Structure 1
Amino acid sequence: MKSLEQQFTSVLAEIEVDGRPLPETEIVHSCVVNNDFAKFTIVLPLESRLRQILPTQIEENIRNLPSISRVAVEVLEKAPIDDEPEENKASIPESEKSRQARQPQRTAYLQNYDAVLAVASGKGGVGKSTVSLNLALALQQKGFSVSFFDADIYGPSFPIMTGLRGVKPELREENLMPLEVMGLHAMSIGNLIDDEAAMVWRGPMVHQAVEQLLRDTAWPGGDIMIIDMPPGTGDVQLSISQLCELAGAVVVSTPQDMALVDAYKAITMFSKVDIPIVGIVENMSYFACPHCGEKTAIFSQHGAEEACRKYEVPFLGAIPLELAVREGGDLGKPLMNQAPSDSPAAEAFRLIADNVISSLDDLY
């Protein structure tokens, strides 16, 4: 049986460019393969007529392979910079270099970040987006360069939480420029559509939208990328796991059993796609009365901590119910971007940021 590389070379050879089979040209730079998904990067000048026809031809031919059901073609004007040391390149025969570039391999978007973290939840309503943004800000305040990708296609909340409702990203040449806010570089589909637009999309359209935002945004790179995932274990989660090399996932839950059952589903999903769990955050852990200080465990308490012991994953911290957290999100002034605060919630976010870094160090 032919290897995947041989199968790709065979079907691509059916495409001729100026009388030569495509694999014998320098057009195909690289290929990403993950499960049934293949992504090609090709290099063509801006004025080339092939830009209009070649991506479609590649997609149609590759889809003929039984192991591939989804194909994406990225077209660049120039080949990406190769960071491989010169001494390693010298050892590769000239005849092998073009073949090596086309060999299917697992790579990903967002490679210019040291760590890409998904913040996820098994169900909606647990405060995942609030935790995502405040965690990103807490990490940024500790000196890390942080970017933020709102991948919640169906319910993007980033524009509201940051006060950027109605703000559209700049289109520069062929790229979307990330929005710069509160020290973060960020992108959300919520800044590309009307506030009240309903995203009635099936899985393939969702996958295409997520990939387009990852591919077409001029992400600056840095220390950490935080991806705010939609709730559940559906299409977007699978797409992100296929398109990005995630360093790990942070799972957000509330303390009650119903939420923890769904949190375990999220943990199971990530384990199936070989993404480590950085830890669990218990949100809405308790309510502290602002008048008398008495703590009330409205949604039970310590449930996430007990789940961490059961599933053998790190416990990152507990965030109390606090009025300032809700108000900050509604007003576009998140808690961690306000004046230095010694509130219990602010202290919790700082501790969670420290624990995330510690957990990553343990994993890698």
Structure 2
Amino acid sequence: MQDALSPILVTGGAGYVGAHLVRHLRSRNCDVVVVDDLSNGRRPRLPDDVPVYETCIGRVDEITRILRKHRCRTVVHLAASKSVAESVRDPLVHYRNNLSNSVALLEACTAADIRQFLFASSAAVYGDVPGGIVTEDANPLPKSPYGISKKMFEDVLQSSVEHYGMTYAILRLFNVAGRGAFMAHEDIAGSEPSLLDALAACRVRAGNTDKIEFQILGNDYDTEDGTCERDLIHIDDVTEAFWRSLLHIAETGKNLVVNCGSGTSRSVKQIVHRFRDRHAPSITPVYAPRRNGDIAKICADISAFKHATGWEPVHSELDKILVSISEPS
């Protein structure tokens, strides 16, 4: 089945998720090509023999040439602006990068006769969901321009690619976390650190001090302890989820739209306190105002993904994730 998928072009392949995925795909004997503008990605994360093109996915002719040169059969689209807070401050940047440039990428894929297309979408497409547990058929009501931009490209993809003989998978990623087996000592933080990136950085800064404050953004949400609740999924489970999804669409010819989370939610307060108690006793949690665009509570129902592909998370226990980020970079 690798022959039906490979070579695979990964956009954003020098980023945190992308670099893990590239190595995972190579472990599955796939040839991989990377396109990344390196605004957040880092070339040293990738093996030296992986072809990397430092360019924008919005350049249709150039991306078409790359796809044809390497005779790619599959595209995995990870490249995106990913900051909820930044999308609230400057929405048009997210609409350009996540929608306009993604449509341009899709044009290049049709010109190069790509057969499979996997899109890394986001749980942000859902917004606040009653009860917090969300299935794929929930009515999407994104709260931020980031979430809106992801949903808009989902709609473009679903309404157009079948006209060009392409099958697609859309994975709505929840909170990807941890360091994987391939990058155990790599600095994984992006342009705007996630909760766990910030915790890891705080632990490093706290090395020579008795106490250091760590801000929890908001403690007045309608949740059990007042802080946001999140579904954390280990990066190694995510890369395997991508692989299973690619196999599914190649083998069945059927499209796939699924949640990719652990199926368990934890509050920010729980996560911070667990990390402090086990890995960074000098951290002192303090509360700060909410961040615009944040969802109060969300947790993936992953039963549809399990049923379709047999995938299930096996690395996403909270303690395992926290151990992985507490290791030195």
Q: Structure 2 length as normaliser, TM-score?
A: 0.39
Higher share of residues assigned helix: 2
* Structure of larger gyration radius: 1
Between 1 and 2, higher relative CO (CA 8 Å, sep ≥ 6) is seen in 2
Q: Structure 1 length as normaliser, TM-score?
A: 0.36
